[in-house]
Amino acid sequence: MSPSEAVKSRGRLKIFLGYAAGVGKTYQMLQEASALRRQGVDVVIGYFEPHGRLETIAQTEGLETVPRRTFSYRGASFEDMDTAAVIARHPRIAVVDEFAHTNVPGAERAKRWEDVEAIRDAGIDVYTSLNIQHIESLNDQVWQVTGIRVRETVPDWVVQDATEVVMVDVTPRALLHRLERGVVYAPEKALQALENFFTESNLSALRELALRQTAHQLEERRDELLSPVPVRKSHSGRKEHILLWLTPDPAAAMLIRRGRRVADFLNSTCAAVLVTRDAALSDLSPEDRATADRHLNFCRNLRIDTQVITGSNAASAVTEWARAHQVTQIFVTRHAKGIHNLVQLARDMQVTIVSERVRSG
């Protein structure tokens, strides 16, 4: 099979995107699946999380559901999607709810989005649901808006690989009415949600993020249709190449998200370097080495090219590497040692010092 044939045979991904629980993502996803089933399309439910929502549960009527698999962990039993069974059933379309879900310990893969990738590799189309706060590069913005650090995330490249992203939208006021009526959560949980995450200001900000994300996806699709190799350039007209200077600073996680987001917007390359005196990182303390390893793995998960380079002067090493690789922008945290030296050395590049945001209120 040729590479082009392999790409064609891979299943497509359709994401039903929302900005909060209760906007109707799963409902619309199941509604579309049911309509296709009535037209004779082979559709099955690979995984569905009802959350006690009767109107949504009603949409599953007439749809075949692949039985869940039971996992044992620390003496307890848990149910989760049986990915192998979905692939063996091999429908035309598999409906897989809650894309960002973390799998039960003992499952073949850590995350549900990885299961979806395996299903798509088998040539099966997938419909799935996702909230905007679960997109990795938006993690810091969501924390800034809501004060909640979302732990379950999906890498941006997975979302960008979707064939179609449909935003399922209701106004924040309408969503709050649904919550108050008990449509979204049981009364006790609904009251807790109204006092914390589900404030009108939070929902409005998250909705704006979702609208921007959907617009960005549409723009990318338009560029792909107009040009086989779409290139978005900076205001100066040059093609951008972004470099992230990694350090053991915990704030580098925020730097990585910001850099990935900007690179995606500019459709530019994105690389990251960590400078040490020894390629084995033996010059770092055990704690710093563990943090650096986490940052490097985080970059790889976001499909950022990573390099560990050696040098006694970090700023000089970063500048030299950047110039050799035609870098136009360098992103660095404000805690990096030698940052002022970097600004002086990299005068032909844009140096962006990324600071952690402090929540107000």
For 163-205, the pLDDT digits (tens) are: 999 999 989 889 888 888 888 877 777 777 776 778 888 888 8
Neighbouring CB atoms inside 10 A of 187's CB total: 10
Query: What is the predicted pLDDT for the residue at 72?
Result: 86
What pLDDT is attached to residue 140? 84
Q: Which residue has the higher pLDDT, 212 or 152?
A: 152
| pLDDT at position 6 | 45
Is the Cα dihedral 303, 305, 310, 316 positive or negative?
A: negative
- Which pLDDT value is given to residue 195? 67
pLDDT for the residue 308: 93
Residues carrying CATH 3.40.50.300, the chain? 3-224
Identify the pLDDT of residue 24. 92
Kindly report the CATH number that applies to the domain delimited by 3-224. Answer: 3.40.50.300
> What pLDDT, on a 0 to 100 scale, did the predictor assign at position 233?
46
Q: Cα 53 to chain center, whole Å?
A: 26
What sign has the CA pseudo-torsion 241, 134, 46, 165?
negative
Q: Convert the pLDDT of each residue in 71-108 to its tens digit.
A: 888 888 889 999 999 999 999 999 999 999 999 888 89
Q: What does pTM read for this prediction?
A: 0.70
Fold that domain 241-354 belongs to in CATH: Rossmann fold (3.40.50)
Q: What is the largest CA-CA distance in the chain?
A: 67
pLDDT at 357: 54
Q: Find the mean pLDDT for residues 271-293.
A: 89
pLDDT confidence of residue 219: 63
The answer, yes or no, to whether residue 223 has pLDDT greater than 60, is: no
Q: What is the mean pLDDT of the chain?
A: 86
Q: Are 307 and 272 in contact (CB under 8 A)?
A: yes
The token pair that represents 93 in the structure block: 């379309």
Location of each CATH 3.40.50.620 domain in the chain: 241-354
pLDDT number for residue 222: 55
Q: Around Cβ 93, how many Cβ atoms within 10 Å? A: 22
pLDDT tens string 232-267? 444 445 688 999 999 998 888 889 988 988 888 888
Choose the weakest-confidence range: 206-215, 271-280, 298-307: 206-215
Structure confidence at residue 202 (pLDDT):
86
* H/E segment holding residue 60: none
CB-CB contact of 207 with 174 (8 Å): no
> Residue 237 burial by CB count (10 A; 0-12/13-18/19+): exposed, middle or buried?
exposed
CA 37 centroid distance within chain: 30
pLDDT for the residue 301: 86
First-to-final CA distance of the chain: 58
What confidence tens digit (pLDDT) does each residue in 309-325 have?
Answer: 999 899 999 999 999 99
Q: What is the pLDDT of residue 7?
A: 46
